[in-house]
Amino acid sequence: MSARLDPAALTLHLVTDTALSAPRSVPDVVAAAVAGGATMVQVREKHAPARDLVALLVAVAERVGRDVPVLVDDRADAYLAARAAGAPVAGVHVGQSDLPVELARRICGPDAVLGLSAATAPELDAAAALPPGTVDYLGVGAVRATRTKPDHPEPLGVEGFARAAARTALPCLAIGGVRVEDAAALRAAGAAGLAVVSGICADPDPAAAAARYVRAFGRVPEEVAR
């Protein structure tokens, strides 16, 4: 595990979705989820103009970035802009069709948290072959079919996730259609944590939804347990 990232921060990785959060604001949903136990946040807005994405990233980071790591999906430029604005943004998550991960590391620098999506054996093996310290964690999935990412690879299921996680020493987050009832099985399959979109963003009570996930996963952060 990288010194940049506390292993406990991987327990529940919230990925934002503006449409699913509406009519509530994304920062409000994020703040509620963090209060309920979310341990890391990824701001994902695939089609937002750069100005709007940076504004949202700064708003989310100002709400929760001093409590949990806040990452941005794909956009190293947004990460750098938010940092330049003084926002406590921790890093970037890149996918297989995004900025090459080694280039993202060079752009974002040695202190940024950097996550990478991987699902297939070649992708996992390529991640394992990266220079040490390039990537802090992998997002592995989709575990199940999900409408929030229609271009996801063939769903892995829990058994497929277990095979994928066994191919790498990097910590693996289970992502893609992850349900509360999957949490314990995914942890047993080698998941370092869960990455969740609709299970929290679409819930009328994001705090309660986050709490259900962390309790089902079996690793309750101390502040939530209290």
pLDDT per position as a tens digit, 97-150: 999 999 999 999 999 999 999 999 999 999 999 999 999 999 999 999 876 665
Q: In whole angstroms, give the CA distance from residue 56 to residue 52.
A: 6
Q: In whole angstroms, give the CA distance from residue 172 to residue 170.
A: 6
119 HSE (CA, 13 A, CB side): 17
Residue stretches of the annotated binding site: 42-46, 73-74, 98, 117, 146-149, 177, 197-198
| Closest-CA residue to 114 (of 71, 169, 175) | 71
Domain 7-225 CATH (choose: 3.40.309.10, 3.20.20.70, 3.40.640.10, 3.90.79.10): 3.20.20.70
- Model pTM score: 0.93
Pairing of strands 91-94, 113-118: parallel
Residue 135 token pair = 């990537």
Structure confidence at residue 121 (pLDDT): 93
Residue stretches of the annotated binding site for Mg(2+): 74, 98
Q: In whole angstroms, give the CA distance from residue 143 to residue 55.
A: 31
Q: In whole angstroms, give the CA distance from residue 118 to residue 84.
A: 30
pLDDT at 28 over 90: yes
Q: In whole angstroms, give the CA distance from residue 187 to residue 112.
A: 26
Q: In whole angstroms, give the CA distance from residue 94 to residue 110.
A: 16
| Closest-CA residue to 38 (of 61, 8, 3) | 8
Structure confidence at residue 145 (pLDDT): 82
**Which DSSP letter does residue 112 get?**
S
How many other C-beta atoms can be found within 10 angstroms of the C-beta atom of residue 72? 30
Q: What are the extents of the domains in the chain?
A: 7-225
Structure confidence at residue 224 (pLDDT): 38
Q: In whole angstroms, give the CA distance from residue 84 to residue 81.
A: 5
Which amino acid, residue 192? A
| DSSP code string of 24-71 | S-HHHHHHHHHHHT--EEEE--TT--HHHHHHHHHHHHHHHTTTS-EE
- Read off the pLDDT of residues 41-100 as tens digits, 9 standing for 90 and up: 999 999 999 999 999 999 999 999 999 999 999 999 999 999 999 999 999 999 999 999
**Which DSSP letter does residue 153 get?**
-
Measured in Å, how far apart are the chain's first and last C-alpha atoms? Answer: 27
